[in-house]
Amino acid sequence: MKIEFFVEFITAALLMKIAVEFIHEVMGHGFFVLLFGGRIIKIYLSILWPYELSYIRWSGDFESWQIIWIEGGGILVCTVISIILQALLLSNVSKHWKAMIPLFWLAFWTFLNPAGYLILGGISPFGDVAALIARGALTRTSSILLGLVIFLGSFISISKSLCDILRKVNMLREPRTLRLSLTIFWLIIPSITLLYCLRAEQPFQCVGIAGTLSLLPAIIAFISSILICSEPSERKSEASDE
């Protein structure tokens, strides 16, 4: 059971990462390009985001406000899809862990894509965020704040959904296992941040600022794992024991 779970968990993570690049570029940017009468010229999807950026090339005669929608479309669509998927996961839409894993990873990557873009782009503007800042739709401060709102709003939801999946495969028998599982999972964030810093113009400065911030989710997960993932019945039981 455990080997089967880990194989499917990792496989789904890689496949859904590629799917999210498609969502960001095609369903995000591409949708608004076509909506405003433009034409898509080229699409490139990278599996190494944010070390190597995916991109879409388009042509058309657009108003300034339309270009803002096009440039922000990837962040917007990913955020909306992630919120919907997180709601489905929390409502326990599927009783089987195999069906939940792809939904979980799709919800995770569609949340991390805009949150990472906004936070890292606010620290050192690049990609869509740099374009939005140049057009006055964002500032570096507002980009970071918006990214933090998206991140904080999804942290508990994503953590709880992961616990629900692990509980279905009987991998949350001890508090120590729960704490270790959540902490390791959220170490994905500093790994992604390291990839970003490797492509930054000032990698050492980037590691100092962004790297420190990226460790916070894992630290918070380590401290609050029991509270986040305990079920209502478990909390009532603890309260009655006291």
What pLDDT, on the 0 to 100 scale, is given for residue 88? 94
- Spatial contact of 57 and 26, defined as CB atoms under 8 Å apart: no
Rg, Å, the chain Cα set: 19
What does the angle CA 184 – CA 172 – CA 84 come to, to the nearest 5 degrees? 70
- Please enumerate, as own/partner, the contacts of 215-219 that have beta carbons within 8 Å and a separation of 24 or more: 215/189, 215/190, 217/151, 217/155, 217/186, 217/189, 218/183, 218/184, 218/186, 218/187, 218/189, 218/190
The total of other beta-carbon atoms located within 10 Å of residue 74's CB is 28
Residue 44, phi-psi category: left (phi > 0), alpha (psi -120 to 50), beta (remainder): beta
Q: What are phi and psi of 124, to 5 degrees?
A: -145, 95
Q: Which of 142, 181, 204 is nearest to 5 (CA)?
A: 181
Residue by residue, pLDDT tens for the chain (242 residues) are 688 899 999 999 999 999 999 999 999 999 999 999 999 999 999 888 777 889 999 999 999 999 999 999 999 999 999 999 999 999 988 778 888 999 999 999 999 999 988 988 888 888 899 999 999 999 999 999 999 999 998 999 999 999 989 888 887 767 778 888 999 999 999 988 888 777 766 666 667 777 788 899 999 999 988 888 776 554 444 444 44
- Spatial contact of 22 and 78, defined as CB atoms under 8 Å apart: no
What pLDDT, on the 0 to 100 scale, is given for residue 235? 44
Look up tokens 């990472």; give the residue: 116
Strands (E) located in 14-146: 39-44, 55-59
What pLDDT, on the 0 to 100 scale, is given for residue 239? 40
Please give the tally of structural domains in the chain: 1
Task: Provide the whole-model pTM.
Answer: 0.89
What pLDDT, on the 0 to 100 scale, is given for residue 189? 92
Q: Domain range for residue 141?
A: 2-241
What pLDDT, on the 0 to 100 scale, is given for residue 238? 42
The total of other beta-carbon atoms located within 10 Å of residue 156's CB is 17
